[in-house]
Structure 1
Amino acid sequence: MELSLREKEKQIEQDMFNELVPKGGGLTVLELVEKYVGLKIGVRQSTYAGYKTVINLLKKDDFGKKRIDKVKLSDAKAWLIKLQRVDKKGYSSIHTIRGVLRPAFQMAEEDDLIRKNPFGFELVNVIVNDSVRREAITKRQEREFLRFIKEDSHFCKYYDAIFILFNTGLRISEFCGLTKIRFRL
């Protein structure tokens, strides 16, 4: 839908009043994300690898070429739905992608490049969470393993420790740090 000349004039006046940079500074979504990532220093290598994955996706997708001031809430939602339905991306991947785009657009909003962050919505209201909760070990496997440990002549001395690890959620390093002094008996 094309705005009338009066509506365009009113919008320009409002942008000038709000000190918004015209046309989002001419930045595309890809350029905005690259700028955002460039300002992130001291991040872990795995975090940086995630940023690069999002940048590579935006380089291949038409959404990355879109000017940031032209991205509306409905565009952002439609793009994430497309990623899930057409591109077959999983919920976790889309969550990661949005986890980069939302703060990037927030930065653009704070820099007065856009009026409102189009990614400021709850993801679960837009796409289906198709994630499957994975169990490292089933209860049956746990019982069988503990029975084996208990009945084995060599490993039986570790039964109590393994039982505690299974049932407390302690990490092995935390468990190894336990001493009698730390317990209130």
Structure 2
Amino acid sequence: MQKRKDHKGRVLKDGETYRKNDGLYMYRWIGGDKKRHAVYCSTLEGLREKEKEIQNDLRDGIQQGSSNITLNDVYKMWKNDKVGLKQTTRNNYIYMYEHFVMNDFGNRKIKEIRKSDVRRYYNGIVDSKKMSVATLESIHTVLHQVFILAVEDGYIRINPSDLVLGDVKRSHNFETPKRHALTIPQQEAFVSYINKSEKYKHWLPLFTFFLGTGCRVSEVVGLRWEDVHMDENYIEINHNMVYYQRDKGKCYFSVTSPKTTAGYRIIPMLPEVKQALLNEKKYQEEVGLTCQASIDGYTDFIFLNRNGFAHNPQTINRTIKRITLAYNEEEIERAERERRAPVLLPNFSCHNLRHTFATRYCENETNLKVIQEIMGHKDIATTMEIYAEATKEAKVKSFEDLCGKIKIS
């Protein structure tokens, strides 16, 4: 059978055609979708390079005819099909993608995106928007999932976002900031100052609860009286209440289940915590404060603002900041008068109070499994990290006490 040739007398392979009318080479094939496809090139060499890519795609199951599919197209599929996420997590992912990715990087054709493109995009938004590492991590989380879908559905061969986040964090000297516990003197100073302050004393039950239970702020603001079992001396943690600023600029509370089964737990009630709750109840009765909030069917919350609504976590953090500033100003003056070094409070947040409880607990408890369960840690590694940090000073002290007591030289 006579082989077809081009205008230079070169033999053409199956599927190849030379078109005299426009001087283009064409390759036609039937893809995995059972449809006929075609590509064109002005040179035979260029056409055969495209053929190699096509054959590789066919071998690897890459979809044919998807050259115009954009990252946004795949994101829409991910958004429609992604199930199993908590609603708050899903809302956060959607906000991150549509706010940072959709109108810029999202318009790129999925098959043309390379690892260097993703790295360049991350570097660009970090430099131009001066964003925190936590925001970049959130953007990467959703973008990585979208690329995973693109791989699974055969639009691309590999995930171009793999390992890119680590590269960018290292290049910008990004480190996830460690949340440190208050030292014992700092913790005592914080509690003592609130207890003596007419302005802030009504906050004492709330902060006592933080420091005596290690609860997350979402667990504290959502705690109801029915979750506290006074007779049996335990607290039941079975939900979170989060405050989101996501939906069209509006802020709202939402009650959700704990992210993991480890979040469901029972916390024994210390006497100081029990008394703090009784003091809070008495205070609310004296000032006529009752719960006015009903959120997703939940009501009768324990810790309320002056209007009877649940506390906004940001408000609590702002209060901590005001207390810290006020205390430090007074402590500096007092230390100067008494000619001693001041015991100053660092900048810290609600989560540092959780970490402070965990540290005090680790200093007095050696059973890591018990600590993990009380803290609601899904991963024992998180507990071990806190335990190692909390016991570091104790180890140093034990070696100081050991000096001269054993013959080693």
User: What count of residue pairs does the alignment treat as equivalent?
Assistant: 170
* The one of 93, 96, 119 aligned to 1:51: 93
* In structure 1, C-alpha distance between the alignment counterparts of 2:269 and 2:178, rounded to whole Å: 34
Give the deviation of 1:85 after TM superposition.
1.1
Give the deviation of 1:147 after TM superposition.
4.1
Give the deviation of 1:165 after TM superposition.
6.1
Aligned residue in 2 for 1:14: 56
Aligned residues of 1:109 and 1:117 also touching (Cα < 8 A): yes
1:169-184 alignment, distance < 5 Å: 169=214, 176=235, 177-178=267-268
Unpaired segments of 5 or more residues in structure 2? Answer: 1-44, 221-226, 229-233, 236-266, 271-409
Aligned residue in 2 for 1:144: 189
* In structure 1, C-alpha distance between the alignment counterparts of 2:132 and 2:54, rounded to whole Å: 40
Bigger radius of gyration among the two? 2
Give CA-to-partner distance per residue, 1:49-92, whole Å, 9 cap, x none: 2222212322321x111011100111111111111112322211
Aligned residue in 2 for 1:36: 78
1:65-80 alignment, distance < 5 Å: 65-80=107-122
Task: Determine which structure has greater relative contact order: mean sequence separation of CA pairs < 8 Å that are 6+ residues apart, divided by chain length.
Answer: 1
Give the letter for the 2:52 counterpart: K
Give the deviation of 1:21 after TM superposition.
0.9
Aligned residues of 2:118 and 2:164 also touching (Cα < 8 A): no
Give CA-to-partner distance per residue, 1:71-115, whole Å, 9 cap, x none: 011111111111111232221111111101111111111111111
SS across alignment from 2:268: coil
The alignment status of 1:166 with 2:256, answered yes or no, reads no
Q: Do the aligned partners of residues 106 and 143 (structure 1) sit closer, same or farther apart at CA in structure 2, a change above 3 Å counting?
A: same
Aligned residue in 2 for 1:109: 151
Q: Do the aligned partners of residues 23 and 80 (structure 1) sit closer, same or farther apart at CA in structure 2, a change above 3 Å counting?
A: farther
Which 4+ residue blocks in structure 1 deviate beyond 6 angstroms? Answer: 149-152, 171-174
Give the letter for the 2:102 counterpart: K
Q: Do the aligned partners of residues 4 and 25 (structure 1) sit closer, same or farther apart at CA in structure 2, a change above 3 Å counting?
A: closer
Give the deviation of 1:150 after TM superposition.
8.7
Which structure shows the higher helix fraction? 1
SS across alignment from 1:26: coil
The alignment status of 1:60 with 2:150, answered yes or no, reads no
* In structure 1, C-alpha distance between the alignment counterparts of 2:87 and 2:69, rounded to whole Å: 27
Q: TM-score, normalised by structure 1?
A: 0.72
Which structure shows the higher strand fraction? 2
Give the deviation of 1:15 after TM superposition.
0.9
Aligned residue in 2 for 1:183: none
Give the deviation of 1:22 after TM superposition.
2.8
Q: Do the aligned partners of residues 143 and 122 (structure 1) sit closer, same or farther apart at CA in structure 2, a change above 3 Å counting?
A: farther
SS across alignment from 2:101: helix
Aligned residues of 2:93 and 2:142 also touching (Cα < 8 A): yes
Q: TM-score, normalised by structure 2?
A: 0.36
SS across alignment from 1:46: helix
Give the letter for the 1:109 counterpart: V
SS across alignment from 2:162: coil
Give the deviation of 1:119 after TM superposition.
0.9
Identity score, percent: 24
Give CA-to-partner distance per residue, 1:7-59, whole Å, 9 cap, x none: 22211111122221135463211121121121123433322222222123223
Unpaired segments of 5 or more residues in structure 1? Answer: 181-185
Aligned residues of 1:33 and 1:55 also touching (Cα < 8 A): no
Aligned residue in 2 for 1:92: 134
Q: Give the superposed CA RMSD.
A: 3.5
Q: Do the aligned partners of residues 179 and 106 (structure 1) sit closer, same or farther apart at CA in structure 2, a change above 3 Å counting?
A: same
SS across alignment from 1:59: coil
